[in-house]
Structure formats: C-alpha cells, structure tokens
Structure 1
Amino acid sequence: MPNFSPLTLCISATSFAISQFLFHVGSCRLSTRFTCGFTKLNAKQKIEWNSRTVSTIHAAVVGCFCLYILVYDDAVNKDPVWGNPFMVKLNVAITSGYLISDLLLIICYWKAIGDKYFVTHHVAALYAYYYVLGEGMLPYFGNFRLLAEFSTPFVNQRWFFEVLGYPKHSLPNMVNGVLMTVVFFIVRIAVIPTYYTRVFSTFGTEAFHRLGLGAQCAWIISSVSLDIMNVMWMMKITKGCYKVLYHTDGVLTKTQKNGKAE
C-alpha cells in the first residue's frame, strides 16, 4: 500500500500550480521583458514558447538539486535501493508536479505541442516515480535519472533561437548547438554504463528481492524505455550538429578558395 506523505503531496501540488502559473502568466511577462521577438510570435508558437520556458526553469531547479543529492547525500549513495529517500522525494515531487502539469498542457494544446514521445516519456517517468514517492524505493536511481535535466535548457534554447529567426550558422546558434550535443551526451548517454552497472550490482541481493515484482518491472522497463528514447534523440541531435558544422566548414573553405583565386 503506497504511503504518500503530506509533505511530498504538498510539494507536488505546489510544483503543479507553479508550472501552470508560469505557463499561463509568468512566461509571457518574463519573455516580453527579455526579447521583443516574443510579441511577434503566432499563437501556436507562443504556446510552445511558454511550455519550453517552464521546462527550462524546472530543469535548472531539479538538476541542481539532483547534483547536490548525488554529491552530499551519503545515505542514498550507500544504499541505492532503500537509502533514506527524504531529499530524493522532495526532488521527485517537484518533477512529478511538473510532469503532470506538462501532460495536461500537452493534452489541452495537442495541435501546438502534442508529441507522442513526450507523452511516453512523461508516463514512464511518473510510473517509476510512483514507487519512489509512495514506497521510498530506489531513491538513488530515481534521483540519478534527473541528471538528464541539465541538457534541457540547451535543447529549449535551440528552439528559441530558431523561432526568433536566428540563422542556423550564427555564432550563438552554433555555440548552443555544440554545447547541447556535448551536455546531452554527458548526462544522458555517457552515464548509461555507470547507471546500469549500479543496477546490475543490486540483482540477487536481499534489498532487490524486497522490492517485489511490480517495482522491479517499473524500474527496469521505465529505465530501458527512457534510454532508448535518449539514444534516438542523441542520434538526431548529433546529425543536426554535424550538418551545421560541416556546412559551415564547407562555406569557409569555399570562401577561402574564392579569396585565393582573387
């Protein structure tokens, strides 16, 4: 029987409410102050802009909290399956509130921001976080997955540049593109061996058997599903980054040749 503490429920509800407020009110006010380009967007673009603004703020908060826990929470690091989950629950509660809010927005504004992969991602994450919040299980692994949020601001910034009309080969766009590719690889792909090494080390232990079949399936299925999507996204991002850099090299080479010919 899951045991959701009043504190985590309150944090999830607060996170949901703040996410909704930022989408409907906060993003518009902030964006009009930082760039005049926001007012020139059409209704569909503004919906996605607001959604990505909320996503960026959530990623910054949760990512920093996640890193703090991985570095300083000894109880969770020593016992990844049943370590004291208090700090992790707080972080996961923030994320759960945001995910539920984002799912609601995706459904309500499907024509503008509907994406079956994001729905799959959110549902898989919430399925796994149910066990972290309700049972206090797998705190280390639940928190570890949130490292991926560090790549989100760069992914969103790429879209911001695109919708504001920045050329693909402009310096800000290229710098962000390279950073996005590197950070995405580090926090979503390069960490896969470390993550699954820790997963496999728990197999067969008493702590693992205590989880029960339901939690074990939720853990493994959601982890594999999320990583398959991460690999697919990584391939797309790498191809896009390569095309931009390769095209730029080609333009520079052609320019240099023309200069020599002259």
Structure 2
Amino acid sequence: MASFSPLVLSIAATSFVTFQCLFHFVSPCISARFCPGYRRLSPKHTVEWNSRTVSTFHALIVGLFCLYILLFDDAVNEDPVWGDPSLVKINVAITCGYLLSDMLLICYYWRAIGDKFFVIHHLAALYAYYYVLSIGMLPYFANFRLVAELSTPCVNQRWFFEVLGYPKKSLPNMVNGIAMTLSFFLVRIAVMPMYYSRMYAVYGTEPFYRVTFGGRCAWMGPSFCLDIMNVMWMHKMARGCISVLRSPGKVKVEKLQNGKVH
C-alpha cells in the first residue's frame, strides 16, 4: 500500500507551520512597518492582505523551484511518468503544506476570505498530489502545473493596489497590469502546447498503463478543466488590459502617503 515518506511528511508539516507563522506574525509586522496604508485597512481587508502576502511568498518559492526542475532535473524530463520524483516531491510537499494552511485560514476567517471555489480547488489539488507524494507517479506533469504559480504575485499585487486606493490609470497599476497579463499568458497559456504534447507522447505507452485509474483521473480531468478556465481568464484579462491602455487620459504617478493616494 502506498505511503508517505518521513521526509515528505516533515516538509509538509514544516511548510504548514511556516505559512501559518507568515500569516499571523511576519506579514502583519512587515506590512505595518513598510506600508502605512496597511494600518488603515478594515479587519476583513487585513485578513485578506496577510493571506495574499503568504500566497505571493509561496508562489515565488514554488514557482522558481519548478523552473529549476524543468531546466535541470534530467530524470524527470526524460521519464515524465515515472522519473525520479525526489525534487518534485519536495516542491509538492511545500505546496501541500501551504494548501492545508490556507484551507484552515479560509475556514477560520470565512466571513473575510471564505470562498467555496478555493476550498474545492485546494481539495482537488491535494487529491492529485497524493499520487505524486505517495506513489511517485507523474512527477513531470505535477511540477509543470505548479509553474502557473509564477503569475500569482502580479495578481495579488493588483489587489494590493486596489485596496490601497491606487487609480487604475496610475503608473504602478498600469505596469503591474501589463506584467500580470504577460506573466499569466506565458506560464498558463503559452505552455499548453508543450504540456499536452508530452501528455500525448506518453498516452498509450507501457509507463502510462502503469498509472492507476485514479491517478489518470487526477491528472487529465483537472488539467483540461483548469486550462479551459485559464483561457477564459486570459480572454477577460487581455480585454481589461487593452481597455485600460486605450482609454483616454494621462497616466499619473501617485504617491501613497498615510494610506491615501494624493
């Protein structure tokens, strides 16, 4: 019967505790010190601010680790179904710790950040990652999906600007909006041909048939559903970006003082 190694459990537990500490202690302390507007936020926005700060930190750590694995982990790249999953397991364990931490926060602060979609998303991701962490199957594809996290920092930054009162036509908002659209396209849309070409290449092979039925469902079903949503989000994001760039008016650089834009 498949089981989790002590190393995987230790990394996931450490990740969980670390992200809880970042939410409750590190983010409030740093945000209050370096962003005067943080102190003026409502309790609801304060909770979401800390949650998004943690989300950004997780996205950068995991996303950059993903790129390293894609570029330098020959075992996974040569055998995407059953290659040595050691590094991928570390990355996925970090993500599982984050997902569990985030679900706990969502449930505890439901009135502030409660969202059924995120709960379903987290549970589906944990189900899929179970097969990677316990059996070691599909390491390439599990790692590849996590590259999408690199678009998260810009998405969170958009919310930070909005809650702090930056106008949509402000220079920081414009620059971040363009970066958000480009990063979303690069790590979620442009990579689709590469991802599905590898999936097609292994489909029907002997390594593919060694994957359990549950593993195939956790691999293919969520991949198709998520990418359909990614295309829809990309279309909406691109329209919004083009609309702002074409709208009349000069782009101004606002200075944030005491939590207000002047």
What TM-score do the two structures reach when normalised by structure 1?
Answer: 0.92
Cα shift readout 1:168-188 (whole Å, capped 9, x = no counterpart): 100010000000000001101
Aligned residue for 2:156?
156
Cα shift readout 1:158-214 (whole Å, capped 9, x = no counterpart): 000111111110001000000000000110111111101111111110000001211
Distance 1:189 1:120, change over 3 A: farther
The 2-side partners of 1:113 and 1:103 are apart by 10
The alignment partner of 1:251 has SS state of coil
The alignment partner of 1:211 has SS state of coil
Q: Which residue identity is paired with 2:169?
A: H
The alignment partner of 2:212 has SS state of helix
Q: CA deviation at 1:114?
A: 1.9
Q: Which residue identity is paired with 2:30?
A: L
Q: How does 1:233-248 map to 2 (within 5 A)?
A: 233-247=233-247
Larger RCO (CA within 8 A; separation ≥ 6): 2
Aligned residue for 2:13?
13
Q: Which residue identity is paired with 2:173?
A: N
The 2-side partners of 1:96 and 1:2 are apart by 17
Q: CA deviation at 1:251?
A: 2.6
Query: Aligned Cα RMSD in Å?
Result: 1.1
Check conservation: 1:58, 1:98, Cα contact below 8 A. Answer: yes
Q: Give structure 1 regions of 4+ aligned residues with deviation exceeding 3 angstroms.
A: none
Q: Percent identity?
A: 65
Q: CA deviation at 1:225?
A: 2.4
Q: Which residue identity is paired with 2:38?
A: F
The 2-side partners of 1:199 and 1:50 are apart by 37
1:251 to 244, 249, 252: 249
After superposing the two structures, state which structure 1 stretch, 41-50 or 121-130, moved more. Answer: 121-130
After superposing the two structures, state which structure 1 stretch, 23-32 or 111-120, moved more. Answer: 111-120
Q: CA deviation at 1:226?
A: 2.0
The alignment partner of 2:83 has SS state of coil
For structure 2, which runs of at least 5 residues remain unmatched after alignment? 251-262
Q: CA deviation at 1:234?
A: 1.9
Check conservation: 1:121, 1:226, Cα contact below 8 A. Answer: no
Is residue 2:139 matched to residue 1:144? no
Aligned residue for 2:73?
73
- Structure in which a larger fraction of residues adopt helix: 1
Q: CA deviation at 1:142?
A: 0.5
The 1-side partners of 2:131 and 2:186 are apart by 27
Q: Which residue identity is paired with 2:249?
A: V
